[in-house]
């Protein structure tokens, strides 16, 4: 085990080794997964990041670059006795070019702060994860985060123009640039969503867009979640491309009501939120079609946001659900599978059946426009066996997504929690190609070791222990 003298000289009091201060870095949004690192460093410059990475390379020490720690897949859990490179203090906006509609930021820049800075220049940064008030742009890049408005505006990868990256051996490379038109292989696209396994970005160039002239935000109540899902399919089939379409079931609504005082139609078992945006003329025309589609879909109640305050209230309710569910259950697992839109209603029925059969409550909230499900599986971790039963429900939902031709993740990433499901989704040749690519970028597998492709080394101590799921190859969260 190498001594830390060199890191101490480089970082001084920004080297953390005491157990108490390190505690916050032992896990991320998946608090049941944890590991104790050897140390944490808090760089304030690219040069310090390079120095830390090169130190790790010389001493064969695995490391993880960590943003705000909001990952919901265990993606920023450290490797035991490894190094955490925490990017919290690298949070500056280096440049905004309003004419070119771009900004250059450090990886610790908070998503919502970038949105506010862009607005000062009459522009907008579109990706809006539910955790946007606290999540970092570097983390968004690593996991290719989405958000409620990704249906129209795309994921993080659609808004990254370029970045400077420190590779696992300390070499610095520049990917992309300041233009939408790239040359050669899309290495930037490869890096975006690689979950920190190919290096760490030190500067990120993002695309900014003009804000829409007008909005039309509608909340429609339905007698069932399946009916709301069928309405989504009808809206897309009619040729509309809303900025966002979100569904919440009764339990998710209850959480939002108790958490932030949101209000929903009485008796509704589900609500569908649809938002149109664009030019005033386009929104006016699309609104007429949307109104008719909602009427035909059997919506029992339709509420239209009359102003910006009501629109904000609708979105506050939706984006509060993940945290607000904590009022209904002491513990819960957030799932992140994807199904084809045409199978949405069927998938929701199956999830309801799984919940009833297992006796475990499941709240449903999801990006309905692209079929990205976020079932929240509730349990009480103080009860023996409760976590395992919740894991079994989560695993069944993941396999349902695969069965229906979807994906094991839409925006939360694979991380630690879903890596065991990769062989069920991809064939051996595809998995081999992915592994060889990762190894080519980082032969020592130092960068975020064990994520996506398990190394078998340095497994987190809170990896839910060994239980019957291991017999089917599931050795992480599910």
Whether 129 has a pLDDT exceeding 90, the answer reads: yes
Provide, rounded to the nearest whole percent, the portion of the chain with pLDDT above 90. Answer: 84
Planar angle of CA 200, 205, 210, nearest 5 degrees: 145
- Give the Cα separation of 240 and 154 in Å (integer): 16
CATH 3.30.43.10 residue ranges in the chain? 5-86
User: Is-contact 61 39, C-beta < 8 A?
Assistant: no
CATH 3.30.465.10 residue ranges in the chain? 93-207
Mean pLDDT (whole number) for 459-466: 39
* Sign of the CA dihedral running 23, 25, 28, 32: negative
Closest by alpha carbon to 51, among 15, 94, 92? 15
Q: State in Å, rounded, how far the first CA of the chain is from the last one.
A: 32
Confidence bin at 475 (pLDDT 50/70/90): very low
Residues in contact with 374: Cβ distance below 8 Å, sequence separation at least 6, in sequence order = 322, 334, 335, 336, 364, 365, 366, 367
The fold adopted by the segment(s) 214-324 is Alpha-Beta Plaits (3.30.70)
Closest by alpha carbon to 254, among 270, 273, 275? 270
Mean pLDDT (whole number) for 48-65: 98
- Give the Cα separation of 166 and 63 in Å (integer): 13
3-state secondary structure of 78: coil
pTM for the whole structure: 0.91
Of residues 370 and 240, which shows the higher confidence score?
A: 240
Give me 215's structure tokens: 């909005």
- Give the Cα separation of 251 and 269 in Å (integer): 9
- Give the Cα separation of 286 and 71 in Å (integer): 36
pLDDT score of 196 = 96
Q: Which helix (H) or strand (E) holds 41?
A: strand 39-41
The fold adopted by the segment(s) 93-207 is 3.30.465
Closest by alpha carbon to 275, among 158, 367, 366, 149? 149
Q: What is the DSSP string of 112-144?
A: HHHHHHHHTTT-B-----TTTTT-BHHHHHHHT
Average pLDDT over all residues of the chain? 91
- Give the Cα separation of 134 and 148 in Å (integer): 16
User: Is-contact 448 199, C-beta < 8 A?
Assistant: no
What's the 3-state SS for 330-368?
CEEEECCCECCHHHHHHHHHHHHHHHHHHCCCEEEEEEH
CATH 3.30.70.2190 residue ranges in the chain? 214-324
The fold adopted by the segment(s) 5-86 is 3.30.43
Dump pLDDT digits (tens) for 146-200. Answer: 989 999 999 999 999 999 999 999 999 999 998 877 777 899 999 999 999 999 9
272 — phi, psi (to 5°)?
-115, 125
Q: What is the chain's alpha carbon radius of gyration, rounded to the nearest angstrom?
A: 22
Whether 462 has a pLDDT exceeding 50, the answer reads: no
Residue corresponding to tokens 């340095």: 458
| Beta bridge partners of residue 374, listed in sequence order | 365
Q: Going by DSSP bridges, is the β-strand pair 83-86/39-41 parallel, antiparallel, or unpaired?
A: parallel
pLDDT score of 454 = 58
Closest by alpha carbon to 191, among 18, 16, 438, 477? 438
pLDDT score of 474 = 29
The fold adopted by the segment(s) 329-444+461-472 is Alpha-Beta Plaits (3.30.70)
Q: What is the DSSP string of 147-207?
A: -TTHHHH--GGGGEEEEEEE-TTS-EEEEE-SSS---SS-HHHHHTTSTTSS-EEEEEEEE
pLDDT score of 141 = 98
Confidence bin at 299 (pLDDT 50/70/90): very high
Whether 382 has a pLDDT exceeding 80, the answer reads: yes
210 class by beta-carbon count within 10 Å (0-12 exposed, 13-18 middle, 19+ buried): exposed
206 class by beta-carbon count within 10 Å (0-12 exposed, 13-18 middle, 19+ buried): buried
pLDDT score of 342 = 84
Residue corresponding to tokens 């025309």: 285
- Give the Cα separation of 170 and 187 in Å (integer): 18
Mean pLDDT (whole number) for 326-346: 91
Alpha-carbon torsion angle 227, 228, 233, 234, nearest 10: 80
CATH 3.30.70.2740 residue ranges in the chain? 329-444+461-472
Mean pLDDT (whole number) for 39-51: 98
How would you label 258-286 residue by residue, b for 16+ Cβ within 10 Å and e otherwise?
ebbebebbeebbbbbbbbbbbeeeebeeb
pLDDT score of 194 = 96
- Give the Cα separation of 88 and 106 in Å (integer): 10
pLDDT score of 465 = 38
Planar angle of CA 221, 227, 231, nearest 5 degrees: 85
């Amino acid at each position: 085990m190498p001594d830390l003298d060199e890191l101490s000289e480089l970082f001084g009091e920004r080297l953390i080794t005491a157990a108490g201060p390190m505690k916050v870095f032992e896990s991320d949004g998946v608090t049941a997964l944890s590991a104790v690192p050897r140390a944490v460093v808090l760089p304030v410059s690219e040069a310090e990041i390079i120095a830390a990475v090169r130190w790790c390379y010389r001493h064969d020490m695995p490391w993880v670059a960590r943003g705000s720690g909001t990952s919901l897949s265990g993606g920023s859990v450290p490797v035991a006795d490894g190094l955490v490179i925490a990017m919290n203090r690298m949070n500056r906006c280096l440049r905004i070019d309003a004419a070119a509609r771009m900004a250059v930021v450090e990886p610790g820049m908070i998503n919502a702060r970038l949105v506010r800075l862009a607005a000062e220049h009459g522009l907008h940064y579109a990706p809006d994860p539910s955790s946007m008030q606290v999540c970092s742009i570097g983390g968004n890049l690593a996991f290719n985060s989405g958000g409620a408005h990704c249906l129209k505006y795309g994921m993080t990868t659609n808004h990254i123009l370029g970045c400077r990256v420190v590779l696992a051996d300390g070499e610095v490379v520049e990917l992309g640039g300041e233009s939408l038109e790239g040359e050669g292989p899309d290495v930037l696209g490869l890096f975006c969503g690689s979950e920190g396994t190919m290096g760490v970005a030190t500067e990120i160039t993002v695309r900014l867009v003009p804000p829409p002239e007008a909005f039309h935000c509608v909340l429609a109540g339905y007698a069932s979640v399946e009916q709301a899902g069928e309405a989504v399919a009808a809206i897309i089939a009619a040729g509309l491309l809303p900025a966002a379409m979100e569904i919440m079931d009764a339990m998710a609504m209850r959480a939002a009501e108790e958490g932030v005082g949101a209000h929903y139609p009485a008796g509704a078992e589900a609500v569908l939120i649809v938002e149109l945006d664009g030019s005033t003329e386009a929104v006016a025309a699309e609104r007429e079609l949307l109104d008719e589609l909602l009427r035909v879909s059997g919506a029992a109640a339709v509420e239209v946001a009359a102003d910006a305050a009501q629109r904000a209230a609708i979105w506050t309710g939706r984006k509060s659900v993940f945290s607000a569910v904590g009022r209904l259950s002491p513990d819960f697992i957030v799932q992140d599978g994807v199904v084809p839109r045409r199978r949405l209603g069927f998938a929701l029925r199956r999830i309801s059946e799984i919940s009833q059969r297992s006796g475990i409550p499941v709240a449903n909230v999801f990006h309905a426009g692209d079929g990205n499900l976020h079932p929240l599986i509730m349990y009480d971790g103080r009860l023996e066996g409760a976590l395992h039963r919740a894991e079994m429900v989560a695993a069944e939902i993941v396999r349902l997504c695969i069965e229906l031709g979807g994906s094991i993740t839409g925006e939360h990433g694979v991380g630690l929690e879903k890596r065991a499901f990769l062989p069920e989704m991809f064939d051996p040749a595809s998995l081999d190609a992915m592994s060889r690519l990762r190894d080519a970028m980082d032969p020592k597998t130092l960068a975020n070791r064990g994520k996506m492709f398990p190394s078998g080394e340095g497994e987190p101590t809170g990896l839910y222990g060994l239980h019957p799921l291991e017999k089917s190859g599931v050795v992480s969260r599910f």
